[in-house]
Amino acid sequence: MLLDLIKKRYSCRNFSSKPIPDAHMVLAALEHGAYSTWISSVDCERAGEIIGVRGYLVTNLIAFGYPETPKAATPQKPLEAIVFNEHFGNLGMP
């Protein structure tokens, strides 16, 4: 589990976590076959008490794990099927 911690001088209510490092960890874990979920709705003070973090606030939780049965890769769509020309719905590259 990844924890983002900040000094307790901040409040749970007025602190905004920086998600970019977390996103990089999620992508790196996925490259190694680990899946993750971002746990966004937490009582940061209570979460810190449960896991024994004193003097800090838990601002972000990401749980990582490996699936019991590996998933088959989803086939990649061709670029022409997902790129729009000038307006949404105009399929195909210019």
Average pLDDT value for residue range 10-33: 75
Distance CA 80, CA 30 (A): 26
DSSP alpha helix (H) spans, 34-89: 44-51
Strands 35-39 and 2-7: unpaired
The answer on pLDDT for 61 being more than 70 is yes
Check residue 20 and give left, alpha or beta (phi > 0: left; psi -120 to 50: alpha): alpha
> What was the pLDDT predicted at 21?
80
Average pLDDT value for residue range 29-49: 84
Q: Are 54 and 45 in contact (CB under 8 A)?
A: no
Question: What residue segments make up the domains of the chain, in order of their start?
Answer: 2-68
